[in-house]
Structure 1
Amino acid sequence: MLALACKNEKDVVLPYKNKNVVPGIEVFLESHLDLVKGKRVGLITNPTGVASNLES
């Protein structure tokens, strides 16, 4: 752990190129909508849970 703390910021390589954060609800709706289509579902989230358009 100490070795990681001593690394330069330039040495850190992120495992992904897309640096935009996508809310989980949007990932779910884009990837797994077929799992809930036509079903009655509920979503339990915390007060800070929002989509990218800031709607909760």
Structure 2
Amino acid sequence: MKQQIQLRRREVDETADLPAELPPLLRRLYASRGVRSAQELERSVKGMLPWQQLSGVE
């Protein structure tokens, strides 16, 4: 039996300081998911949380 997909509308944070070079759709998606700055999109090792702050890692 297939489970029905539930879609949720999210409020877009208009104050998000995201890079202008991002496509408008990505800016809207990131803002609606609570991303407020480009630092939160950082994917390098430097931008990662320390392992001690990750839950379930021992």
TM over 0.5: no
Under a length normalisation based on structure 1, what TM-score does the superposition of the two structures give?
Answer: 0.20
Under a length normalisation based on structure 2, what TM-score does the superposition of the two structures give?
Answer: 0.20
Query: Which structure is higher in helix share?
Result: 1
